[in-house]
Each structure stands twice: as structure tokens, then as C-alpha cells.
A = this chain, B = another copy of it.
Amino acid sequence: MPNGAQALIRTLVDAGVRTCFTNPGTSEMHFVAALDSAPEMRAVLALFEGVATGAADGYARMADKPAATLLHLGSGLGNGVANLHNARKARVPIVNIVGDHATHHTKYDAQLQSDIETIARNVSPGWVRTSGSTQALCSDAAEAIVAAIGPPGQVATLILPADVSWGDGGRPAAPIPPARPPLASPEAINAAAAALRSAQPTAILLGGRALREPTLLAAAKIAATTAAKLYAEVFPTRIERGEGLPPVERLAYFAELASVQLAGLKHLILVDVKAPVSFFAYPGKPSYLVPDGCQVHELAPPSSDIPAALEALVEALGAANAKPVRQKPSRPQLPTGELTADKVCQVIGAILPEGAILSDEAQTSGVTLAAHTAGAPRHDVLTLTGGAIGQGLPVAVGAAVACPDRPVLALQGEGSAMYTIQSLWTMARERLDVTVVIFNNRSYAILNIELERVGAAGAGPKAKSQLDLADPNLDFVALGNGMGVPSVRANTCEQLAAELERAIAEPGPHLIEVVIPSAFTGWKLKAMPYALQALGTLPQPVAKAIKNRLAP
């Protein structure tokens, strides 16, 4: 008879959970010892829990099934919270396993004792359980797995006391079949169809699982039939895009711009997404971005069958034979000479290989990335779903583990990179095909913008110093090499193109640092739309509308 840990791993494997991102401690040693009992389970060690949780997120986004984590008590869970938060917000499934002291040990309040469940509720509001016995462990685990899968997906936290893990008499549990997601209500389909037929300005906002090829094609057929505008949420969990797929404009991060994108709408149809709100609040500015007089229609709740809802809408509109707009191939020319953030994005657009996975946390430096990669060969983009920075490198780890045959590019601002820089070591250890591009503008550039946006202008030297990362400069070539990832600095567009091609061609991870000026140096709120227009981010009509609205 296996012990608890062995039975648990068997239960995970049998349910298809075959990857575990780990940072174990003493209370997890029996789980670790049990790994060899299940050849199907791959254990990927991280040097920091935020790497493990973010990797589990990236894995599930690409594998469409959960990985497990293995974390060490409340403090280990704490270290993993930021990236579990990102997964929660995006409804990404994770089986989050947190070791605990033996049940008979907790009463002594030893050094590492803390209230694990209270932390877990922040990221797992829907499913937290401390398994009470070796006998119950595997049925608890089977429930955790099916709870994680959803839909909607979630982070399900299973707390594993050490004695439950080491106890004898573990019994692997059979997988619980996920419930079939309900269909959208006919009323909701009809209401959306009516809005789309109304000839009033209407947009469809796609999020969550609605940004994959089948749903994109359905939405594009509707758009072709009704002239509805298609938008994607600000930070997609996973969007399939590029040559041959329907192009979708993303809502802007800056509320000032998103408001312009949404201006004049009379109907907004939500598909696996919430009504758009501002990322942060700003004095005197609205948080809710849907314009007055615009009706909001939820096509189907997140727990429902989203692709079926869109298909039903296609049927209702008689759009089955409509011809969706598909992205034509186009690449930017390779730029030359000195690097800027925009030119780095151009180089990436010019080189991006077929089937690439882009983990995008380039922040302000990546503002033109979407424009420059729009017509590149088909690829996936994974973005900062919950706003907790330090997600991009771990997500790249997980995506590369999930998709060993696809090239992964992690486009990463230097400030965000430093939260989970330990990811590089796991990339090297697992020989992952990840090319990391560090956009180093030596500042928290976004905060320089936000300082003005919140109305805290006129900041003094101490305030400005809080946003400045130039003293001392971070040397990512040293950091990457220090963790076993071959790393170089590119100083020109030509060098960057050559290094990028080499990195993609060679197996294993690579890091390329580019030192660039902030994309918004000297930025002023009123000037932003022009800057964005000049940078080619926004479609011409939107940029023009902004210009008209903001021009003095």
C-alpha cells in the first residue's frame, strides 16, 4: 500500500496532472521522495516560489490543463501569491499544493507555523482544503483537480500536512469527470443578436477562452455580417494571432485611450470578460469605462460553454457562411542603427518564427509590439493578466515546459524581471527553448507616467529617485550568465537581429539585453495619443479620434 504522498502523485498523474513546479522544504520531503514512484510525473524545481506558481500558470495557458505546484507552508505560499493572483484573475487552473506541519505539530506553534488557509483564500477563494487524513487525501486531491479545471478554471489549494503525506494506507482516487459547462441562455443569445442587428454602434469584447482560433473565427464572421467592432481585453490570458487569423484590436491599458476606443458605442457584448474598467483609479476620473448610454450584454457567463455561445450567436445571425476578415502576412522591415524600444519591437516582428509563444511583460517598452507583430506568422501571446508584475519569465518557463516543440520568447521589462529573475536558472536547468529579451530602460518607466496621471506632478528628487533604476545599473548579461543562461547585450538593430536569430536557432535558453531610452521619455498626458499614433500602435481612425478630442 503506498503512503499518502505516493497515492497523491498517482492520483494527480491519473487525472492528467503530470507536471509539478516545486520549491519544497522539510515538510514536503515525503512528496519529493515519492516522485520516483511515478515516472509520468515531471518535477521542475524553482529557486523561488513565484517562479513555480507563474510557471504553473504559463503551463496551463498553453497545455489547457493544470499543473501542480509544491510549496512550503505559509511563507512559501506567500512567495507564490503574486503569480497565483495573476492566474486567479485569468481563471487559469492550478492545483496548488502547499505542505504543512504534521497535524499533531501545529499546536506547538513552531517557527514556520502560520495560518496558511487565510493566505490561500486570497488566491483560492473558491477551493481551499486542508486534507485531514491519509485516507481522505486522494479524494480531496481529485476534488481539487476538478475544481481547478472548472470551467471557470481556478487556483484550487490543497494543504498537505506532513503526517497526511507520510502516513500509510494511501489509496489513489480515480479522476472526477469535469461537469459539462452549461450553454448560454437563449435570451442572452437573442439579446446579443438583436443588438448586433440594431444598426447602432456595437462592439464585441472578447476575453478569457474567447481569443482562440475557433471563437475568433466565429466572432469575425459576426463582425463581417454586422459591422460590429471586435475588441480583445486589455491583458489577454492567451490570444492566438498573426497571419490567417482574424485580427482583433486590444483595449488600451490607459483609460484615456480605452475611453476613446469605446466612445459612441450603443451596445457592448461581453464574451468571457467583464465590462471594462480602469486598471487603477485616478483623481476625478471615472473607473468604469463603458460610455453612458451604452447597453452591456453578457453573452455567456464564465462558467458556460463559450465557444458554443459564439456559435449559437453565429447561427442566430445567419452568419455561418460569412467570410471572416483574416490577417494578411506582413512584417516590418529590419530597422538599422541605434536601438529604441520601438525598433526592438520591429526587429521582433521581422524575425518572429512560426508557432512562437510570446510571453509579454515588456510594459511601456513593448507598446508597439502588437502593431509590429500583427502580420507575423501565427503565434500566441500571453500577457500580464492580474497586473502583478514578475509574471513574464515564469510564464515563459511554464509555456516552454508545456510546448517543448515551440519557440518561446519572453519580452521583459527590467523592473518587472527582477521580481522573479530566478526563472533564468530553471530555464537553464531544464534546457528550455526560451529567448529572453530584456528591455532595460533603467527606470520604472510606467510609474513615471502614473505619477503624472494620478496628479502627483511636481514630484521632488526623493520621489523621482524611487522610480529610477539607474543607480546602479542592472547588468542582465551578468545576471543571466550567473544563472547559466548564455547572455549577450545587443547595441544595434543589426546585432539584435543576429543574436535573436542565433538564440532561436540554438537549443536551450538565451538572454539578450537591450539598453534603450524609455518609450515615453518626456511624456505628457496630452501628448500621449500623438506619441502612440506616431509609434503606430493604434489604428489610424482611433488615433485621429483621440487627436480631435484632445487637441487644444
Which residues from B are CB-within-8-Å of A63?
Answer: none
Q: Which residue of B lies closest to A48 (CB)?
A: B419
Smallest Cβ distance from A141 to chain B, in angstroms?
Answer: 19
Is A531 an interface residue, CB under 8 A from the partner?
Answer: no
Contact with B along A290-334 (1 / 0, CB 8 A): 000000000000000000000000000000000000000000000
Which residues from B are CB-within-8-Å of A119?
Answer: 78, 81, 118-119, 122
Is A281 an interface residue, CB under 8 A from the partner?
Answer: yes
Is A545 an interface residue, CB under 8 A from the partner?
Answer: no
Bound form: Cα–Cα A458–B36 in Å: 10
- In the complex, the answer to whether A166 meets B35 with C-beta atoms within 8 Å is no
Interface residues of A in 86-107 (CB under 8 A from B): 88-89, 101-102, 104-105
- In the complex, the answer to whether A462 meets B36 with C-beta atoms within 8 Å is yes
Interchain Cβ contacts under 8 Å between A and B, 10 examples = A25-B450, A29-B456, A32-B467, A35-B466, A48-B418, A81-B81, A116-B122, A418-B422, A429-B471, A478-B481
Bound form: Cα–Cα A37–B235 in Å: 36
- In the complex, the answer to whether B465 meets A473 with C-beta atoms within 8 Å is no
Smallest Cβ distance from A187 to chain B, in angstroms?
Answer: 25
Which residues from B are CB-within-8-Å of A33?
Answer: 451, 456, 458-460, 463
Smallest Cβ distance from A15 to chain B, in angstroms?
Answer: 20
Which residues from B are CB-within-8-Å of A476?
Answer: 482
Is A190 an interface residue, CB under 8 A from the partner?
Answer: no
Given contacts A29-B447, A108-B287, A419-B79, contact A36 B460 (CB under 8 A): yes
Which residues from B are CB-within-8-Å of A481?
Answer: 475, 478
Total count of chain A residues near the partner, CB < 8 A: 105
Is A529 an interface residue, CB under 8 A from the partner?
Answer: no
Is A527 an interface residue, CB under 8 A from the partner?
Answer: no
Given contacts A85-B112, A101-B281, 8 further A-B contacts (CB under 8 A): A26-B279, A33-B460, A48-B419, A111-B235, A112-B386, A115-B122, A119-B122, A163-B283
Bound form: Cα–Cα A421–B428 in Å: 18
- In the complex, the answer to whether B288 meets A32 with C-beta atoms within 8 Å is no
Is A278 an interface residue, CB under 8 A from the partner?
Answer: yes
Bound form: Cα–Cα A121–B454 in Å: 29
Chain A contact residues, CB within 8 Å of chain B: 22, 24-27, 29-30, 32-36, 43, 45, 47-48, 50, 74-82, 85, 88-89, 101-102, 104-105, 108-112, 114-116, 118-119, 121-123, 125, 162-163, 166, 234-235, 274, 277-281, 283, 287-288, 385-388, 390, 415, 418-419, 421-422, 425, 428-429, 446-447, 450-451, 453-456, 458-463, 465-467, 469, 471-479, 481-484
Given contacts A79-B50, A115-B121, A459-B32, contact A26 B454 (CB under 8 A): yes
Smallest Cβ distance from A429 to chain B, in angstroms?
Answer: 6
Bound form: Cα–Cα A12–B453 in Å: 26
- In the complex, the answer to whether A81 meets B82 with C-beta atoms within 8 Å is no
Smallest Cβ distance from A87 to chain B, in angstroms?
Answer: 12
Which residues from B are CB-within-8-Å of A45?
Answer: 465-466
Q: Which residue of B lies closest to A110 (CB)?
A: B277
Which residues from B are CB-within-8-Å of A386?
Answer: 75, 111-112
- In the complex, the answer to whether A110 meets B79 with C-beta atoms within 8 Å is no
Which residues from B are CB-within-8-Å of A466?
Answer: 22, 24, 32, 35, 43, 45
- In the complex, the answer to whether B287 meets A104 with C-beta atoms within 8 Å is yes
